[in-house]
Amino acid sequence: MYAERASRLAGAVVWTNTPAGPEPGRVLPDGCMDLLWHDGRLLVAGPDTRAHLIEGSPAPWSGVRFPPGTAPALLGVPAVELRDRRVDLTDLWPAARARRLAALVNAAGDPAEGLERAALSRAAETAPPDPLLGRITAALDAGRPVAATADELGIGARLLYRRSVAAFGYGPKTLARVLRLQRALALARAGTPLAETAARTGFADQAHLTRDVRELTGVTPGELLG
């Protein structure tokens, strides 16, 4: 069973998930990065360009999902280095520091609450998120073309690309594609027919939507929504 709530850290989400059975779970690309707890370990989920399948024993997971572009400053590592990866926190931080944080989370009555407190503590030690990253995300999520986004923000296409790779893990075209997928799935899950969903979210047609969903998630819209 999956559950989530808004975090006390602005824009973040705290979630828990206990798989219902042995079949693999499917985590879809969303432009975000997560700090994870599983079996007493702390891991970091990098930005995905395709669905990530979770296999193994159906043990509980907890996580804090950071808004797009904000996790690299908190974790001290460019997003591109974690693209399509799940890594132990000890691979990113000095081992003693990572173990101390894991001990604090494991000592909490609720690992999700412990993760949230750790994220809030880390945020208090770092500079606030660059507002430009939020503007990039908002423009692309609104369906703005990449070139138009660069012009509107006054940063140029090359700088937009460099900033995007460091903060989001990939260039603005990929980020726009991932965000469009999430917009389309939200509409479809709310009952909007796929043809209308495709038209409202910037796809050429329903066939284009189906191809994109299959490439990004590994299954068809019908399989995913079912």
How would you write the pLDDT of the chain (226 residues) with one tens digit per residue?
889 999 999 999 999 998 776 666 889 999 999 999 999 999 999 999 999 998 766 789 999 999 999 999 999 999 999 999 999 999 999 999 999 999 999 999 899 999 999 999 999 999 998 999 999 999 999 999 999 999 999 999 999 999 999 999 999 999 999 999 999 999 999 999 999 999 999 999 999 999 999 999 999 999 999 8
- Integer Cα distance of 198 and 210 in angstroms: 9
- Integer Cα distance of 97 and 85 in angstroms: 21
Name, in order, each residue with C-beta under 8 angstroms of 66's C-beta and a sequence gap of 6 or more: 9, 11, 12, 32, 33, 34, 35, 74, 119
Tokens 């989370």, located at residue: 105
Domain boundaries, the chain: 2-125, 131-225
Q: Which fold has domain 131-225?
A: Arc Repressor Mutant, subunit A (1.10.10)
- Helix (H) or strand (E) run with residue 183 in it: helix 172-189
Task: Output the pTM of the full model.
Answer: 0.93
